[in-house]
Amino acid sequence: MFKSLFFFIISIFVSLSLHAQVETSSDTADGNTKKRSYTTQSIGSEAAPTIDGIIDEKAWSKVQWTTDYVENQPDNGTSPTEQTKMKIVYDAKNLYVAFRCYDAEPDEIVRRLSRRDGFEGDWVELNIDSYNDNRTGFSFTITAAGVKGDEFISKNGNNWDGSWNPIWYVKTQIDAEGWTTEMRIPLSQLRFGNEEEQIWGIQSTRRYFRKEERSLWQPVDANAPGWVSEFGELRGIKGIKPQKQLEIQPYALTKLNSYEKEPGNPFRDGNDTRFTAGLDAKIGITNDLTLDATINPDFGQVDADPGAIALDGFEIFFQERRPFFVENKNIFDYSISGGSDNLFFSRRIGRSPQGSAFGPTTAYVDQPQNSTILGAAKFSGKTKDGWSIGVLESVTAKEYAGVINEDGSEEEVLVEPLTNYLVGRLQKDFNNRNTYIGGIFTATNRNLEDNLDFLHKNAYSGGLDFKHNWNDRNYYVEGKAFLSQVNGSEEAIERTQRSIVHLFQRVGGSHVKVDSTRTSLTGTGGRMEFGKSGGGNWRYNIGGSWRSPELELNDIGFLRQADDINQYAGVTRVFNKPTSWYRRANVRVYQSLNYDFEGNYNSLFYQLVGYVNFKNNWFAEAGSENNATRFDNSELRGGPRFRRNGDHLGFLYVGTDSRKKFSTTLGYVYGQATEKNYSFTRYEVRFNYQPLNALSLSMTTKYESRPDKTQYVDQPIFNGSKRYVTGEIDQETISTTLRVNYTINPNLTIQYYGQPFIARGKYRNFNYVNDPIAKSLRDRVTLYDTNQISFEEDSYLVDENRDGTTDYSFRNPDFAFVQFRSNLVLRWEYIPGSEVFFVWSQGINGLGDSMNDFNKIVDNQLFRKRPQNTFLIKATYRFVL
């Protein structure tokens, strides 16, 4: 079945590829765009422009305006409603840019204030590909209200990194013709080679807010294969020298934690105080390569992780939010799938301690929340010869938990060892930047002591990757191959084999087994994909991947599940030419198929999704998904493969015009399996409201219901073998995320983030697995009758053979979990690059009564429980040397 399906799909895509090479788009005439060029000049002996938004200095007369912007959205290739002009000059240290944005109604220009990188209202943007590699660039955006936006562009426009915050200067003015802006961009903030004459890629975008219209200096075909590769050229920069950047940013922080006092526990006496200091540095080794270093970093003002709960036993993935690790993260990226799996997951650095200090005589424990990062350094950049280089080194300290025993004695217990993390990444461009080959290496080394021998002593991974583009980058093929090795004690390796990522102990898995004498594991993985990414109205891709059973990445990477062979394919039809009722639209079909390394078929998935942006700027997105009958190797936590009924799911999201002061999005998702084995329902409401240019509010509320008749519960022993107990669960979650931003001016903002999260699960109709792969649900599990099961002291007692004696028991699995997180941050950038933060954070974690409804849980666990409060002041000062 698999082979015939695979070759059928291959034949479809080969036919599409051959057709696409001779296709003439009905929406646009692709491939006929002429590359523009702008020649700048040095200001010479003229005084540098004063950055005040008034373009009247003599230096600007050195060059002519360039104009003739062309509309890109919604109606590509037409004349924009309002025209834009641009000038660029330079001196030995800076690039100067001026824009005139014409507007026939200056009073109607939308000047919404926001935090940095807010991109609200009217704006104009300059992108610079100073590497001239057709893949990466630096983006500088200024709104009509004077708010900066800056991003590092990578992957030919598929990744925009807003954590990049260079030092640059800008002002705007409104006049009778529209609005103007002047920029001064220090050359130290860019990266370029040491040539006599520079040739850079450039692009400029104007957003005309009232019509949600984008116009470009360099026209780009609607179906272009990328962004940076389509830039025009900036010429005329001669004689400038690479600028070796040197920035040092020390910080000082004082913190007060206030919480409910716990009687008798000296570790919870009501409050804690702390003062700390640290240092961040950015050192230009060359103009191409930069060393970022941090000593004793602090991330106190970072948003809290969203609330989440998982009953499948797998680790929950959370995005990295710490600025040091987020900035330039694209250089270190080695994603092994379309999801979260990656050879490098920076949140492993500074992770929560993995050891436990609790023992049989323990009374109180002071458990550290995170490992202390003693220091980290990151060497990264891209050379003029096309080498992308990244090396990251970090050391985390030993962590001890304070312990008070029942007899009053005190001790410290090691819960995390001294650990060194290393990541190296290298890529080389070839073939006029149309091809690259790269590699990655990671290493985790721990200084283990006896009580932490369950951890890996060391872990290594490495991989090679490549991508080749052809036919004006419209077609591509890419691939990756990687391996891993972990070493440690017999206990550590057996623990890895039995983890939910691997489950070597699972019943019926003839290709895997637990070997308690092993001290290492070595695994492999890879992926290959071919696709069409531009040209014409069709996009498609087809590929496959594998992860061997012994692949293990979770010391410094993220791997949800090993032992998987996956084939996938997708086709997208885009509609980029506006009509009388829509601005743009697309339809996508996707399919995937999964096996394990024993050759067992596990799942077959189909998806159809459509999106349309209407003429009034509303949008709608709808889709349908089908999971054919699937088998789960992990459902019974080491038990046999378990059959899950096939299901169908549909969803619809509708949103109003996001430019309006009030906009909303409504979403509905519903899916159900055959025999009503399980179902899924989600209601989602999003509101955005901007009553003032300086004030914006957004709120997202989600309610989810996940009833399931065979939710895993436990695996007690009966007659010398395991009984796999499942139950019917009514699981509900509700969460609300609120954000409030008040911008006093572009450098002084107040931001609030708050999220309550509640999850509740109630079980009934307990059963045990009878035939795990039976087609019918009633043959797959057997329900306990009232004479077999009873409830006593928060446990269920089972007399399976009805002889009047309890054969086994399991705890009551009902639960109610409550979490609340909030941050109130006042941020003041008192000089460019230097900031003061005033932060107030609140947090509540607790368990509620699952018998209560949501109203009672909120009242008892949120309103009546004292939160932990954290107050901190953090000040930084950036020295530019």
What is the tens place of the pLDDT at every residue in 616-656?
999 999 999 999 889 999 999 999 999 999 999 999 999 99
Show the tokens assigned to 363. Answer: 């009374």
- Residues linked to residue 293 through DSSP beta bridges, in sequence order: 281, 377
pLDDT at 155: 84
Mean pLDDT of the 804-815 span: 95
- Residues linked to residue 4 through DSSP beta bridges, in sequence order: none
Alpha-carbon distances, residue 455 vs 202, 327, 374, 521 (angstroms): 50, 30, 21, 13
Which amino acid type is present at position 710? T
pLDDT at 302: 54
- At 610, is the pLDDT very low, low, confident or very high (cuts 50, 70, 90)? very high
d(CA 121, CA 107): 13
d(CA 298, CA 471): 48
- At 769, is the pLDDT very low, low, confident or very high (cuts 50, 70, 90)? very high
Which amino acid type is present at position 89? V
Residue 98 CB contacts under 8 Å (≥ 6 apart), including other chains: 49, 55, 60, 86, 87, 88, 180, 181, 182, 183
pLDDT at 365: 92
3-state class percentages of the chain: helix first, strand second, coil last, to nearest 5: 10, 50, 40
Express each pLDDT in 368-386 by its tens digit: 988 999 999 999 888 878 8
- At 428, is the pLDDT very low, low, confident or very high (cuts 50, 70, 90)? very high
pLDDT at 858: 72
Express each pLDDT in 709-766 by its tens digit: 999 999 999 999 999 999 999 999 999 999 999 999 989 999 999 999 999 999 999 9
- At 284, is the pLDDT very low, low, confident or very high (cuts 50, 70, 90)? confident
Mean pLDDT of the 492-506 span: 96
Residue 549 CB contacts under 8 Å (≥ 6 apart), including other chains: 502, 504, 511, 512, 523, 562, 563, 597
Express each pLDDT in 509-541 by its tens digit: 999 999 999 999 999 999 999 999 998 899 999
pLDDT at 668: 98
Using only C-alpha atoms, the chain has a radius of gyration, in whole angstroms, of 30
- Residues linked to residue 714 through DSSP beta bridges, in sequence order: 725
Question: Which H helix or E strand runs over 19?
Answer: helix 2-21
pLDDT at 304: 66
Q: What is the mean pLDDT of the chain?
A: 90
Mean pLDDT of the 229-234 span: 96
317-346 as b/e: b if 16+ CB within 10 A: eeeeebbbbbbbbbbbbbebbeebbbbbbb
Mean pLDDT of the 590-603 span: 95
pLDDT at 337: 81
pLDDT at 369: 86
In 3D space, the residue among 708, 766, 699 whose CA is nearest the CA of residue 732 turns out to be: 708
Q: Which bin fits 93, alpha (ψ -120 to 50), beta or left (φ > 0)?
A: alpha
pLDDT at 299: 61
DSSP string, 286-336: SSSEEEEEEES---TTSPPPPP---SSSPPPP-----HHHHTTHHHH--BS
d(CA 425, CA 410): 45
Express each pLDDT in 20-57 by its tens digit: 333 333 344 445 678 999 999 999 999 999 999 999 99
Residues of the chain above pLDDT 70, percent:
95
Which amino acid type is present at position 212? E
Whether the CB-CB separation of 588 and 572 falls below 8 Å is answered with yes
- Structural domains of the chain, ranges and CATH numbers in brackets: 33-238 (2.60.40.1190)
pLDDT at 64: 96
pLDDT at 6: 39
Show the tokens assigned to 623. Answer: 């889709």
- At 314, is the pLDDT very low, low, confident or very high (cuts 50, 70, 90)? confident
pTM given for the model: 0.87
Whether the CB-CB separation of 54 and 189 falls below 8 Å is answered with no
User: At residue 14, does pLDDT exceed 50?
Assistant: no
d(CA 5, CA 8): 5
User: At residue 104, does pLDDT exceed 50?
Assistant: yes
Which of 208-217, 333-342, 848-857 has the largest mean confidence?
208-217
Residue 704 CB contacts under 8 Å (≥ 6 apart), including other chains: 680, 681, 682, 732, 733, 734
d(CA 464, CA 19): 32
pLDDT at 326: 78
Whether the CB-CB separation of 520 and 552 falls below 8 Å is answered with no
Question: Which H helix or E strand runs over 566?
Answer: strand 564-575
Residue 555 CB contacts under 8 Å (≥ 6 apart), including other chains: 348, 444, 456, 459, 486
Mean pLDDT of the 582-602 span: 95
User: At residue 697, does pLDDT exceed 90?
Assistant: yes
Residue 408 CB contacts under 8 Å (≥ 6 apart), including other chains: none
Residues of the chain above pLDDT 90, percent:
72
pLDDT at 24: 36
Q: DSSP label at 188?
A: G
Whether the CB-CB separation of 556 and 342 falls below 8 Å is answered with no
